[in-house]
Amino acid sequence: MSWFPDMGTACMIAHGDHVRAVGWLSDQHPFPTGDTPPEFLARLKEFCRRWDEGLGPLVWDVFMGPHRCELCGRCVASGNIGVPAGGVLFAAPEMIAHYVEVHKYAPPAEFVAAVLSAPLPGTREYAVAVAAFRAVALQQQLGELYRPGQPPRA
Protein backbone atom coordinates (compact mmCIF):
# COMPACT_ATOMS: atom_id res chain seq x y z
CA MET A 1 0.00 0.00 0.00
CA SER A 2 1.23 3.48 -0.76
CA TRP A 3 2.43 5.65 2.09
CA PHE A 4 0.93 9.11 2.65
CA PRO A 5 1.66 11.45 5.59
CA ASP A 6 -1.01 11.84 8.27
CA MET A 7 -3.11 14.99 7.82
CA GLY A 8 -1.88 15.52 4.25
CA THR A 9 -4.44 16.55 1.63
CA ALA A 10 -3.93 13.55 -0.66
CA CYS A 11 -4.03 9.78 -0.46
CA MET A 12 -4.85 6.90 -2.77
CA ILE A 13 -8.62 7.35 -2.60
CA ALA A 14 -9.16 11.14 -2.42
CA HIS A 15 -7.42 14.50 -2.68
CA GLY A 16 -8.24 18.18 -2.23
CA ASP A 17 -8.13 20.97 0.36
CA HIS A 18 -10.91 19.27 2.34
CA VAL A 19 -9.12 15.89 2.53
CA ARG A 20 -7.04 14.75 5.51
CA ALA A 21 -5.19 11.48 4.97
CA VAL A 22 -4.89 9.27 8.06
CA GLY A 23 -3.39 5.82 8.59
CA TRP A 24 -1.58 5.26 5.28
CA LEU A 25 1.22 3.46 7.09
CA SER A 26 4.24 1.70 5.67
CA ASP A 27 7.06 -0.31 7.16
CA GLN A 28 9.41 2.30 5.67
CA HIS A 29 8.13 5.22 7.77
CA PRO A 30 7.90 5.51 11.57
CA PHE A 31 4.43 6.28 12.94
CA PRO A 32 3.14 7.47 16.33
CA THR A 33 2.04 4.79 18.79
CA GLY A 34 0.19 4.86 22.08
CA ASP A 35 -3.07 4.02 23.77
CA THR A 36 -6.36 5.15 22.27
CA PRO A 37 -9.78 5.09 23.97
CA PRO A 38 -11.50 1.65 23.71
CA GLU A 39 -14.68 3.31 22.47
CA PHE A 40 -12.65 4.80 19.62
CA LEU A 41 -11.43 1.39 18.43
CA ALA A 42 -14.95 -0.08 18.67
CA ARG A 43 -16.38 2.77 16.60
CA LEU A 44 -13.50 2.64 14.12
CA LYS A 45 -14.12 -1.09 13.59
CA GLU A 46 -17.75 -0.33 12.84
CA PHE A 47 -16.70 2.27 10.25
CA CYS A 48 -14.38 -0.29 8.67
CA ARG A 49 -17.03 -3.02 8.71
CA ARG A 50 -19.30 -0.68 6.71
CA TRP A 51 -16.64 0.70 4.34
CA ASP A 52 -18.49 -0.42 1.20
CA GLU A 53 -21.57 1.51 2.27
CA GLY A 54 -19.54 4.73 2.10
CA LEU A 55 -18.51 4.29 -1.54
CA GLY A 56 -21.82 5.46 -3.02
CA PRO A 57 -22.22 8.62 -0.94
CA LEU A 58 -18.54 9.54 -1.46
CA VAL A 59 -18.41 8.47 -5.14
CA TRP A 60 -15.22 6.60 -4.34
CA ASP A 61 -13.91 3.78 -6.52
CA VAL A 62 -13.29 0.26 -5.38
CA PHE A 63 -9.53 -0.14 -5.62
CA MET A 64 -7.50 -2.91 -7.09
CA GLY A 65 -7.35 -5.95 -4.90
CA PRO A 66 -6.53 -6.49 -1.25
CA HIS A 67 -3.49 -5.13 0.57
CA ARG A 68 -1.52 -7.08 3.12
CA CYS A 69 -0.27 -5.37 6.28
CA GLU A 70 3.38 -4.42 5.67
CA LEU A 71 4.10 -4.53 9.39
CA CYS A 72 3.11 -8.14 10.17
CA GLY A 73 1.80 -9.67 6.94
CA ARG A 74 -1.09 -11.20 8.87
CA CYS A 75 -3.96 -8.88 7.92
CA VAL A 76 -5.51 -8.37 4.51
CA ALA A 77 -7.97 -5.58 3.71
CA SER A 78 -9.14 -3.82 0.59
CA GLY A 79 -11.52 -1.03 1.61
CA ASN A 80 -11.26 2.63 2.49
CA ILE A 81 -13.28 4.78 4.86
CA GLY A 82 -14.28 8.45 4.79
CA VAL A 83 -15.00 10.15 8.12
CA PRO A 84 -16.62 13.60 7.87
CA ALA A 85 -15.97 16.35 10.43
CA GLY A 86 -17.47 19.69 9.43
CA GLY A 87 -15.60 20.92 6.35
CA VAL A 88 -13.00 18.15 6.53
CA LEU A 89 -13.12 14.58 5.24
CA PHE A 90 -10.69 12.14 6.83
CA ALA A 91 -9.71 9.39 4.38
CA ALA A 92 -8.23 6.19 5.77
CA PRO A 93 -7.63 2.62 4.62
CA GLU A 94 -9.81 -0.15 6.07
CA MET A 95 -6.58 -1.55 7.53
CA ILE A 96 -6.46 1.34 10.00
CA ALA A 97 -8.48 -0.61 12.59
CA HIS A 98 -5.85 -3.36 12.47
CA TYR A 99 -3.05 -0.78 12.81
CA VAL A 100 -4.67 0.67 15.92
CA GLU A 101 -5.56 -2.67 17.51
CA VAL A 102 -2.45 -4.73 16.76
CA HIS A 103 0.30 -2.19 16.07
CA LYS A 104 -0.83 0.46 18.62
CA TYR A 105 -0.94 3.15 15.94
CA ALA A 106 -2.12 6.41 17.51
CA PRO A 107 -3.90 8.49 14.85
CA PRO A 108 -4.16 12.30 15.11
CA ALA A 109 -6.51 13.50 17.89
CA GLU A 110 -8.71 15.24 15.32
CA PHE A 111 -9.35 11.89 13.66
CA VAL A 112 -10.16 10.16 16.95
CA ALA A 113 -12.69 12.90 17.73
CA ALA A 114 -14.20 12.66 14.23
CA VAL A 115 -14.67 8.87 14.42
CA LEU A 116 -16.40 9.22 17.80
CA SER A 117 -18.84 11.88 16.58
CA ALA A 118 -19.45 11.22 12.87
CA PRO A 119 -22.49 9.25 11.63
CA LEU A 120 -21.80 5.74 10.32
CA PRO A 121 -21.71 4.87 6.59
CA GLY A 122 -25.04 3.46 5.47
CA THR A 123 -27.09 5.99 7.44
CA ARG A 124 -29.02 8.93 6.05
CA GLU A 125 -27.07 11.22 8.40
CA TYR A 126 -23.82 10.03 6.82
CA ALA A 127 -25.05 10.81 3.30
CA VAL A 128 -26.00 14.32 4.45
CA ALA A 129 -22.65 14.86 6.20
CA VAL A 130 -20.63 13.96 3.08
CA ALA A 131 -22.87 15.64 0.48
CA ALA A 132 -20.48 18.58 -0.05
CA PHE A 133 -17.50 16.23 -0.46
CA ARG A 134 -19.49 14.16 -2.93
CA ALA A 135 -20.01 17.28 -5.08
CA VAL A 136 -16.26 18.03 -5.05
CA ALA A 137 -15.40 14.43 -5.97
CA LEU A 138 -17.86 14.51 -8.88
CA GLN A 139 -16.33 17.78 -10.12
CA GLN A 140 -12.82 16.30 -9.88
CA GLN A 141 -13.90 13.22 -11.81
CA LEU A 142 -15.48 15.37 -14.52
CA GLY A 143 -12.32 17.48 -14.68
CA GLU A 144 -10.26 14.35 -15.24
CA LEU A 145 -12.62 13.21 -17.99
CA TYR A 146 -12.61 16.54 -19.80
CA ARG A 147 -9.14 18.05 -19.84
CA PRO A 148 -8.85 21.37 -21.71
CA GLY A 149 -7.70 20.92 -25.29
CA GLN A 150 -8.31 17.19 -25.30
CA PRO A 151 -11.28 15.32 -26.64
CA PRO A 152 -13.39 13.67 -23.95
CA ARG A 153 -12.54 10.09 -23.14
CA ALA A 154 -15.08 7.60 -24.45
Residues that bind Zn ion (CB under 5 A): 69, 71-72, 75
The CB-of-104 to Zn ion minimum distance in angstroms stands at 11
Burial class (CB in 10 A: 0-12, 13-18, 19+), 127: middle
Closest to 91 measured CA to CA, from 1, 3, 9, 2: 9
CA 78/CA 32 separation, integer angstroms: 23
Q: Which is nearer to Zn ion, 42 or 72 (CB)?
A: 72
Q: Which is nearer to Zn ion, 58 or 75 (CB)?
A: 75
Q: Which is nearer to Zn ion, 24 or 126 (CB)?
A: 24
Q: Which is nearer to Zn ion, 70 or 110 (CB)?
A: 70
The CB-of-72 to Zn ion minimum distance in angstroms stands at 3
The CB-of-71 to Zn ion minimum distance in angstroms stands at 4
The CB-of-128 to Zn ion minimum distance in angstroms stands at 34
Encode burial over 49-79: b for 16+ CB neighbours within 10 A, e otherwise. Answer: bbbbbbbebbbbeeeeeebebebeeebebeb
